[in-house]
Structure 1
């Protein structure tokens, strides 16, 4: 259970090998054979406040509240991070929760950040299992999220891990249904004025050749682009190489103009240790969130909130962390290198 509204449950402790999903799925068209990711007119882009103003630092985030009490935590608490919109918020509540948060950001003249994380069969039934109970519930829930975000000039990361997990026989979800739900969400949120980034895993998981046709089927033509490294520790240079290759592969399958963002919240510790992915001791915060908006690179974000635990374990695997999603001062200090 999240420790505050919207706190992120720990993302799945990701598979270290790129063989996590077995085999390429056949490409099926989702929309036109050739498509360009949604950006709107040149005039609309020029007038879009997201191109000129900073990202929202929410004073209600645990890291921000910790920094207000102890300046030791300022390197984390002073950085923009998203509000995670999960099944913590019921269908009847999620619209108002999104609207309150996005309006607060806009009142501060900043861009609101969201992570949408409630797909049916979330996290392959693992550490962050949950999500909506069925497809109809998910569509209704997304409708309310979109209404809350309408015209609020938000940025949203859509369903971390949902596409990279496709093809994993252990997951058990219906692939066609999942792709349909992601397309529905990307379309609804984009039409509400949100910049949507579908999650594309990371450089140590799937290949660009594998991901491009899946992202097309998941409705990336409706989105602004894709995100990489969410909740993971891969170096930024590796992620940029992966993202650039994925942009090229998307063009090859008929989707041009895709942008990308990289989660750098915990990738400042150098090359990750394979298999050590639950509150690893060697992890450090990475480059600060920054919009770049140059070429296909939209910038860096801290999507997985640094300082919140990945989870707990009895065998030491999670290095003493509390339950997933809980603010963990000792872990935050470790990430900052001040423990």
Structure 2
């Protein structure tokens, strides 16, 4: 069975498709930030004006990977990946130090993407990407994580930022409310997300809160409670002006507009009409509007170039045979979808396949997961090479 309606309440969150056309990547620009302060209009699609920046940290990882390749054709394709705009994950307090170096080469027409990802008790329904802060350390999250990021962004008013707020967090509270770890994390998640939204509400920022994907909150029974959970965070934050909507398919594998959907023949498919992310963005977007929240979306197409690889919809860890998907573009063909973006840096592992590791999650040992795989966030050279070989469109 492909993730039954009851199973969706228990599957682990991702450790955290594409239309045929894409935009050609422009040559990399090295230029100063804008000469004056940036003011983003979050009531509009800023990705029509700004190009997602190819941050130096992912570029460095890709450059190192290219140097390890002996196949000149593969190396040439791999080198092109370095020019693709990709979000930078600020997943620890220590990694806040990456923000300033990442700002050094952002030209005025680029926007730097950051993933805000360090809630206490992070990823409560999985083990592979558990964070550094323990349940209850919400004061530390605010004062040592969010506040320093706010200070940094304020210090660089001439640069545009796009933020994805806490992947997996609120979706976990909707579908994994029966898990003790999620029960314990719930208050911190809600408080932390609202605090982040309120305090990161800066003129040069546009924010998207994570909404899982169509195989998660897209189930009929999850649409309304999911929308209400996200809308509560938006309202608790004071309905911040720089808030635009949601991110979907983060570190995910769902196709954008595959029809029929990848799991449309499953016996329980009748309970989920969101068989691709395009339907999900539209359907969940309507629920968000009813709940009183801005509902535009950015969709992660970083690794969804190949479909039909997963045995079940909830399989999230290092899916074997995956390929890079459509490069970042604001040409989505759907008004509610602002852009296709690369949020998960392709080549960085979702989680370890080492069964003896403390952070081993059984999803990383499944038949459809690539093995061997290192700890979450660690570079996996062979997997990166496969993403290039299987890329759709190709490099």
Query: Structure 2 length as normaliser, TM-score?
Result: 0.68
Aligned to 1:139: 142
186-195 vs 238-247, which moves further: 186-195
Q: Secondary structure at the match of 1:226?
A: strand
Query: Which residue in 2 is equivalent to 1:236?
Result: 256
- Is contact 1:85-1:117 (8 Å) kept? yes
Q: Does 1:247 align with 2:285?
A: yes
Structure 1 residues 188 and 234, CA gap change in structure 2 (3 angstroms)? same
Deviates more, 1:328-337 or 1:46-55: 46-55
Aligned partner of 1:266 in structure 2 is 303
- Structure 1 contact 67–77 (Cα < 8 Å) conserved: no
CA distance in 2, matches of 1:121, 1:105: 33
1:211 aligns with 2:226: yes
1:196 alignment counterpart: 207
Work out whether 1:128 is the aligned partner of 2:129.
yes
Residue of structure 2 equivalent to 1:304 = 344
Partner of 1:66: 64
1:149–1:267 CA distance, 2 compared to 1 (3 A) = same
Show the counterpart of 1:173.
184
**CA distance in 1 between partners of 2:390 and 2:371 (Å):** 17
Kindly state the Cα deviation for residue 45 of structure 1 after the two structures are TM-superposed: 6.6
Pair 331,68 (structure 1): closer, same or farther in 2 beyond 3 Å: closer
How far 1:67 moved relative to its partner? 6.2
Contact kept in structure 2, 1:76 and 1:306, CA below 8 Å: no
Secondary structure of the structure 2 residue equivalent to 1:260: strand
Cα pair 1:102 1:154 within 8 Å, conserved: no
Q: Are residues 120 and 72 of structure 1, via their aligned partners in 2, closer, same or farther at CA, if it must alter by over 3 Å? A: same
Compared with structure 1, are the counterparts of its residues 138 and 178 closer, same or farther at alpha carbon in structure 2 (3 Å cutoff)? same
Partner deviation per Cα, 1:243-302 (whole Å, 9 max, x = no partner): 1111111111222x4210000111111134115432222211111111348732210111
Other structure's SS at 1:114 match: strand
Deviation for aligned residue 1:320 = 1.5
Off by >3 Å, runs of 4+ in structure 1: 15-22, 42-51, 66-70, 314-318
Tell me the alpha carbon deviations over residues 94-123 of structure 1, each in whole angstroms, 9 at most, x when there is no partner. 3x542332343247x421110111011101
**1:267–1:285: 8 Å Cα contact kept in structure 2?**
yes
**1:51: how far off?**
4.2
SS at match of 2:170: coil
Query: Matches of 1:291 and 1:183 in 2, distance apart?
Result: 28
Q: 1:48 to 1:225 in 2, by over 3 A?
A: closer
1:148 to 149, 152, 159: 152
Question: Structure 1 18/333 Cα, relative in aligned 2: closer, same or farther at 3 Å?
Answer: farther
Which 5+ residue runs of structure 2 have no aligned equivalent?
11-38, 68-74, 258-275, 356-364
TM-score normalised according to structure 1 size: 0.78
> Is structure 2 residue 181 aligned with structure 1 residue 163?
no
CA distance in structure 1 between the partners assigned to 2:233 and 2:46 by the alignment: 27
Contact 1:265 1:302 in 2 (8 A): yes
Q: For the residues of structure 2 that align with 1:46 and 1:159, how far apart are their CA atoms?
A: 22
Contact 1:308 1:326 in 2 (8 A): yes
- The alpha carbon displacement at 1:76 in A equals 2.8
Deviates most, 125-134 or 181-190: 125-134
Q: Do the aligned partners of 2:255 and 2:277 also contact (CA within 8 Å) in 1? A: yes
Please identify the structure whose Cα radius of gyration is greater.
2
Q: 1:291 to 1:63 in 2, by over 3 A?
A: farther
Q: Describe the SS at the equivalent of 2:350.
A: coil
Identify if the C-alpha distance between structure 1 residues 204 and 186 changes in structure 2 by more than 3 Å, giving closer, same or farther: same
